[in-house]
Structure 1
Amino acid sequence: MNEENSKLIWTYMQEAGDRLVGKLPPSKRHPKGRNPYAHIAICVRSKFGMTYKEIPDERIDEVIEYIELLVKNPS
């Protein structure tokens, strides 16, 4: 992903994390609460098989749609 798109996705991921604060279900693995920012990054990496910086520019819309899905359906 080029630098401009990478920055755009990073900002979008941070904003999504802000919207998920306090909305993720509790987990025994995270007794102090879950980190919504890490959750977004881990889910993106898991779905696309690479970090957000490694995803091709052509898939930027797909990444944004997936992040929106994560915000609408916290898990």
Structure 2
Amino acid sequence: MKNLMIGLTVLFSGAAMAHGCPGEMKAIDAKLATQPAMSADAKAQVTTLRADGERLHKAGDHTGSMKALADAKKLLGL
């Protein structure tokens, strides 16, 4: 019973994060669309992190995706 509960927790937390990734990507895209004042290097880093987040999401690594997207959001001040 305990193993079943742990398995369900892992399953549902992964599913929840899977749905969070697209929302995080949309927030980053929306902020980038406003042409925020930032250096070209910072913008390139945000763009790279955003792309990494999408790639990781599609590969099923939602924890890695959320980390990359969180780093991008931090650089954007979100």
Rg comparison, structure with higher value: 2
Smaller-chain TM-score range?
A: 0.3 to 0.5
TM-score normalised per structure 1: 0.42
Which structure shows the higher helix fraction?
Answer: 2
